[in-house]
C-alpha cells in the first residue's frame, strides 16, 4: 500500500506482464492460394510492423506500471529508519505528502518539532514582555500587544486578527487608598496600619467593615465548619486568612461571606510562602494580590459577550462578593494576630508568623475593647481588551481547531504570571510556522491566541467563549493553556479534562528520553481548577482543555501575583535552566498539538472508566437511574469504538463523522437543563453547582456525617439533573436515534 495526500490509501499497482503470442500453424487464420505472392509479401510486412507496435505498447504499459509500483513501494520504505529500525506502524496512519512530493510520518514530524524549537528565543521573548508592569488598558500593556501582533504577522500565518471586548475591570482608587485601622468600642480610630498601595483584590465589594478579628486558617469550607463547631462568634467579624490551602482568594471570600463575616484580610504565611529574602523569598512587607470574583469573565455581563459596549439587561454575576476584601503583608497579619484573645487554634492551623501564639479571636488582649476597621475604595472602569489571534489552516478538516493560548497582561512584571506563557506561545507559533514552510501539512487548523484581561479572571478568554459558544463545540477540538507553566522543574502537575489524559501520557514518554530532569520529575494528573486558564473552556464551553504547571518540590516560587515576579528571580530558582525547561515544556505541548492536528482519528478518550459513581442507597432513594445512564453511556462509547475498529478509517467522509462525534463528547456534559446566565459552569463533572457529581456526592455524605442536614427534595433534583445530563450524553454519543438503547 502507498499513501496519497489527505491521508487516504491507494493500492500499489503490480507490474503488468504483457505476452506477445505468435500465430501458430493450424490456426484459424489461413491464406487463400489464389492471392498473388506480391500481396502475401505485403501482408508479411504489415504483420512485422504490427508486432513492433504491439511490443512497444507493451513495454510502455510495463514501464508505467513499474513506475507506479515503485512510487507506492517507496512510500512503504519510509517506514524504515536510517539504521533499518522499523518505525511503529501508527506513525504511518494519516501520513501526508510534503511540499517536495515525499511522504512525512509522525516520527519525522517529531524530529522537525525538536529541530525548530529554540530555548534562546523563549528566554528572549520572556525578558521582553516582562520588563515592567503591563495591566490591561495601560500604555505598557498596549505596547506588548502591538509587539506580539507584529511578530505573529511576521510569521506569515494564514490569518492574523484581533478580537476586542469592552469589559468592566476594578482598580485601586487613585485619590482614596484602601485603609486599615485599629478602633475602640465606639469606632474612634486608635491607630492606622499602613497598607501596600499597589495591593488589592479586584472585584472586592467597596465600603467599610468593622468588627473583631477571627483567624480562619486557609478560609476553606471545612475551616469555617470547625470554627462553628467550636462556637466561635463569626457574625460581623473580620476574617484573617492565609494564602494557600488549594483555594483561591475568591473561594476564601465566598466562604467567609457564607459564614456571616463582614470582611476578609488575606496574608502570606512563612509556612506556605517562603519569606527569607536570602533564599529567594518574599520580604515581610510584600502582599499578594488576586481577584475575588467567584467565576470568570466580565462579572457585569454574565453569560453574554462584552462586544462594543453592547447593552444587556442590568445584571451581575452571582459570584461577586458583597463583603470587602484586601490583601495584607505578613507583618500586618502578625501585628493583628499577636494581639488576639480567645480559644486556641485547632491542630494544624499554626503558621510561622513571628510573635504569634495561634489564637482564634475575635477579641483583643488588653483593657480596652478594640476592633478592626477596614475600608476598600476600589473603582470600576470600562477597559478595551484586545485578544490577538493567528491561525494555520488545516488541509483536510480546516474547520476544526486546536487552540493554544496564554495570558498577556500582568499587574506586575509577571515573569511567571504572563511572561512564561506568552514566550511559549510565540515559540510554538514560530515553530509550527517553520514546520509548515518545510513540508508539514496539518490536517486540522491551529489557533494561537494571546488573551487580555487574564488577571481579572480570564476575562478576555471567557468573553470570547461567550461570543462564540454556539459554534465552538462544533469546531474546537481541544484547548491548551500555557499560563504559569514554569515555576520549577521537579513536579509536573497536569490539570486536564479526562478526555486528554491518554494524550499527555503518550507525549510524556516521548519527551522523557530527551530531557534528564523529566526522568527525575514526578507527574500528578489533577482536575481543572477555577482560576486555571483552561477551566472556562471545559466547564463553560464544553471543550477538552489542559494546563501544565512545573513546580519545585523543596520550595515554591513565592512571587506570583506580586511586584517581584521577575525573570531574574525565576532564573535563580531554576539555577540558570530556564531556557532548557521552557523548551521541554514547549516540546511536550507541541507533541500533543501535533497528534491532534495530524491523526486521522482524534486521540481523545471518551470513556468514563476514570470516574467514580459512588452514590449511597438510603431512605428509599435508589441510584439505579445514575448507574443505568452510566451503563448506556459506556455501551455507546464501546459501540463507537467497535464501529471505528471495523471501519475503513481511510474513508474521509467516515473519518469526519467519527471525529465529529468524538469532539462533541465534552459538550454533552454541559447540562442543558440549566441557564448559562445563572449557572455558567454547567459541566456535570468539572463545573460548579448543585448539578455536579461532586455536589451530589457531598450531599449524600451528609446521611452519615449530619443526617439532619440532608434535604430529600434537593437530593431528588440533583439526581435528576445529573442523571438526565449523562443520559443525554449517552444518547448523543450513540449517533442516530435508531441506535439509542431505550428499552420499554
Consecutive H or E run containing 241: strand 238-242
Using alpha carbons, select from 600, 594, 731 the residue that is nearest to residue 656: 600
| Distance of alpha carbon 195 from alpha carbon 212, whole angstroms | 19
Question: What b/e sequence results for 600-634 when a residue is b if at least 16 CB atoms lie within 10 Å of its CB, and e otherwise?
Answer: bebbbbbbbeeeeeebeeeeeeebeebeebbebbe
Average pLDDT for 286-296 = 96
**Whether the Cβ atoms of residue 317 and residue 302 lie closer than 8 Å to each other:** yes
Average pLDDT for 185-195 = 93
Would you state the cell numbers that stand for residue 180, as one nine-digit string?
486599615
Most confident among 44-53, 134-143, 643-652 (mean pLDDT)? 134-143
Topology given in CATH for the domain delimited by 623-734: Transcription Elongation Factor S-II; Chain A (1.20.930)
Average pLDDT for 30-51 = 43
Q: How many CB atoms lie within 10 A of CB 112?
A: 19
Q: What CATH number should be reported for the domain whose range is 106-167+381-552+581-598?
A: 3.40.630.10
Question: Is pLDDT of 492 > 70?
Answer: yes
Question: Is pLDDT of 31 > 60?
Answer: no
- What radius of gyration do the chain's Cα atoms show? 33
Q: Number of H helices and number of E strands within the chain?
A: 20, 21
pLDDT of residue 60: 43
Would you state the cell numbers that stand for residue 49, as one nine-digit string?
510492423
- Between the alpha carbon of residue 229 and those of residues 233, 346, 347, 699, the distances in Å are 11, 11, 14, 19
| Distance of alpha carbon 410 from alpha carbon 126, whole angstroms | 13
Average pLDDT for 18-36 = 36
Average pLDDT for 86-103 = 41
pLDDT: is 266 or 520 the higher one?
266
Average pLDDT for 383-388 = 96
Coil, helix or strand at residue 101: coil
| Distance of alpha carbon 446 from alpha carbon 181, whole angstroms | 53
The domain spans of the chain are 106-167+381-552+581-598, 177-376, 623-734
List the beta bridge partners of residue 379.
171
Q: Percent of the chain beyond pLDDT 70?
A: 81
Query: 489 pLDDT band (50/70/90 cuts)?
Result: confident
Consecutive H or E run containing 511: helix 501-512
**Whether the Cβ atoms of residue 315 and residue 302 lie closer than 8 Å to each other:** yes
With cell 488549594, the residue in question is: 246
Average pLDDT for 75-83 = 31
**Whether the Cβ atoms of residue 289 and residue 265 lie closer than 8 Å to each other:** no
Q: Which CATH number fits domain 177-376: 2.60.40.10, 3.50.30.30, 3.30.43.10, 3.40.718.10?
A: 3.50.30.30
pLDDT of residue 51: 52
Most confident among 8-12, 72-76, 466-470, 598-602 (mean pLDDT)? 598-602
Question: Is pLDDT of 608 > 80?
Answer: no
Question: Is pLDDT of 84 > 80?
Answer: no
Average pLDDT for 491-496 = 93
Coil, helix or strand at residue 445: strand
Would you state the cell numbers that stand for residue 64, as one nine-digit string?
508505467
Using alpha carbons, select from 396, 409, 265 the residue that is nearest to residue 324: 265
Over the stretch 308-340, which tens digit does the pLDDT of each residue have?
A: 555 566 678 889 999 999 999 999 999 999 999
| Distance of alpha carbon 385 from alpha carbon 165, whole angstroms | 5
| Distance of alpha carbon 502 from alpha carbon 401, whole angstroms | 19
Over the stretch 437-488, which tens digit does the pLDDT of each residue have?
A: 999 999 999 999 999 999 999 999 999 999 998 888 889 999 999 999 999 9
Amino acid at each position: 500500500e502507498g499513501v496519497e495526500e489527505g491521508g487516504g490509501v491507494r493500492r500499489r499497482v503490480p507490474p503488468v506482464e504483457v505476452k506477445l503470442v505468435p500465430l501458430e500453424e493450424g490456426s484459424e487464420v489461413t491464406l487463400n492460394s489464389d492471392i498473388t505472392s506480391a500481396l502475401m509479401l505485403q501482408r508479411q510486412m504489415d504483420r512485422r510492423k504490427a508486432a513492433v507496435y504491439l511490443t512497444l505498447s507493451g513495454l510502455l504499459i510495463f514501464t508505467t506500471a513499474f513506475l507506479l509500483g515503485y512510487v507506492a513501494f517507496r512510500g512503504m520504505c519510509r517506514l524504515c529508519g536510517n539504521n533499518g529500525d522499523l518505525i511503529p506502524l501508527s506513525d504511518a496512519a494519516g501520513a501526508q505528502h510534503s511540499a517536495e512530493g515525499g511522504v512525512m510520518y509522525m516520527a519525522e514530524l517529531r524530529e522537525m518539532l525538536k529541530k525548530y524549537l529554540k530555548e534562546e528565543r523563549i528566554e528572549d521573548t520572556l525578558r521582553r514582555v516582562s520588563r515592567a508592569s503591563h495591566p490591561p488598558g495601560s500604555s505598557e500593556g498596549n505596547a506588548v500587544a502591538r509587539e506580539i501582533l507584529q511578530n505573529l504577522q511576521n510569521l506569515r500565518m494564514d490569518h492574523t486578527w484581533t478580537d476586542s471586548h469592552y469589559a468592566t475591570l476594578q482598580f485601586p482608587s487613585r485619590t482614596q487608598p484602601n485603609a486599615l485601622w485599629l478602633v475602640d468600642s465606639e469606632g474612634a480610630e486608635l491607630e492606622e496600619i499602613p497598607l501596600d498601595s499597589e495591593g488589592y483584590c479586584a472585584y472586592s465589594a467597596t465600603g467599610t467593615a468593622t468588627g473583631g478579628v477571627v483567624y480562619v486558617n486557609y478560609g476553606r469550607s471545612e475551616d469555617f465548619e470547625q470554627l462553628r463547631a467550636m462556637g466561635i462568634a463569626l457574625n460581623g467579624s473580620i476574617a484573617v486568612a492565609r494564602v494557600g490551602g488549594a483555594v483561591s482568594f475568591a473561594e476564601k471570600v465566598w466562604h467567609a461571606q457564607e459564614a456571616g463575616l463582614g470582611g476578609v484580610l488575606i496574608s502570606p504565611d512563612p509556612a506556605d510562602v517562603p519569606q527569607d529574602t536570602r533564599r529567594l523569598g518574599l520580604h515581610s512587607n510584600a502582599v499578594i494580590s488576586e481577584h475575588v470574583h467567584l467565576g470568570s469573565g466580565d462579572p457585569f455581563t454574565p453569560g453574554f459577550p462584552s462586544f462594543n459596549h453592547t447593552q444587556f439587561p442590568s445584571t451581575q454575576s452571582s459570584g461577586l462578593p458583597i463583603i470587602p476584601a484586601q490583601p495584607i503583608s505578613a507583618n500586618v497579619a502578625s501585628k493583628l494576630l499577636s494581639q488576639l484573645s480567645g480559644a486556641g487554634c485547632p491542630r494544624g492551623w499554626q503558621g510561622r508568623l513571628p510573635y504569634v501564639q495561634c489564637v482564634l479571636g475575635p477579641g483583643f488582649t488588653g483593657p480596652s475593647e478594640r476592633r478592626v476597621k477596614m475600608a476598600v475604595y476600589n473603582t470600576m472602569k470600562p477597559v478595551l481588551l484586545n485578544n490577538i489571534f493567528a491561525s494555520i489552516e488545516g488541509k483536510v478538516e480546516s474547520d476544526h481547531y486546536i487552540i493554544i493560548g496564554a495570558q498577556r497582561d500582568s499587574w506586575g512584571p509577571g515573569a511567571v504570571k504572563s511572561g512564561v506563557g506568552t514566550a511559549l506561545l510565540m515559540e510554538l507559533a514560530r515553530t509550527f510556522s517553520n514546520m509548515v514552510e518545510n513540508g508539514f501539512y496539518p490536517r486540522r487548523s491551529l489557533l494561537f491566541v494571546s488573551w487580555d484581561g487574564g488577571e481579572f479572571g480570564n476575562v478576555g478568554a471567557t468573553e470570547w467563549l461567550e461570543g462564540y459558544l454556539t459554534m465552538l463545540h462544533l469546531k474546537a477540538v481541544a484547548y491548551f493553556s500555557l499560563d504559569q507553566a514554569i515555576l520549577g522543574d521537579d513536579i509536573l502537575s497536569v490539570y486536564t479534562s479526562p478526555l486528554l489524559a491518554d494524550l499527555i501520557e503518550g507525549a510524556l514518554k516521548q519527551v522523557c528520553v530527551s530531557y534528564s530532569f523529566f526522568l527525575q520529575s514526578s507527574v500528578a494528573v489533577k482536575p481543572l481548577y477555577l482560576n486555571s486558564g483552561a477551566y472556562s473552556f471545559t466547564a463553560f464551553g464544553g471543550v477538552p482543555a489542559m494546563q501544565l504547571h512545573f513546580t519545585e518540590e523543596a520550595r515554591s516560587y513565592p512571587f506570583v501575583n506580586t511586584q517581584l515576579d521577575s525573570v531574574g528571580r525565576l532564573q535563580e530558582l531554576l539555577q540558570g535552566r530556564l531556557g532548557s525547561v521552557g523548551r521541554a515544556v514547549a516540546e511536550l505541548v507541541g507533541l500533543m498539538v501535533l497528534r491532534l492536528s495530524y491523526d486521522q482519528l482524534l486521540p481523545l478518550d471518551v470513556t468514563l472508566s476514570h470516574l467514580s459513581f459512588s452514590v449511597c442507597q438510603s431512605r428509599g432513594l435508589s441510584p439505579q437511574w445514575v448507574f443505568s445512564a452510566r451503563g448506556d453511556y459506556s455501551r455507546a462509547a464501546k459501540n463507537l469504538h467497535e464501529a471505528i475498529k471495523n471501519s475503513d478509517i481511510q474513508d474521509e467522509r467516515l473519518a469526519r463523522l467519527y471525529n465529529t462525534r468524538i469532539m462533541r463528547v465534552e459538550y454533552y456534559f454541559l447540562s442543558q437543563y440549566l441557564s448559562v446566565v445563572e449557572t455558567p459552569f454547567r459541566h456535570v463533572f468539572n463545573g460548579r453547582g448543585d448539578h455536579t457529581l461532586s455536589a451530589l456526592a457531598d450531599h449524600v455524605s451528609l446521611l452519615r456525617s449530619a443526617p439532619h442536614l440532608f434535604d430529600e427534595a434537593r437530593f431528588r433534583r440533583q439526581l435528576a439533573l445529573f442523571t438526565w445530563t449523562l443520559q443525554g450524553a449517552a444518547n448523543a454519543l450513540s449517533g442516530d436515534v435508531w441506535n439509542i438503547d431505550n428499552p420499554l
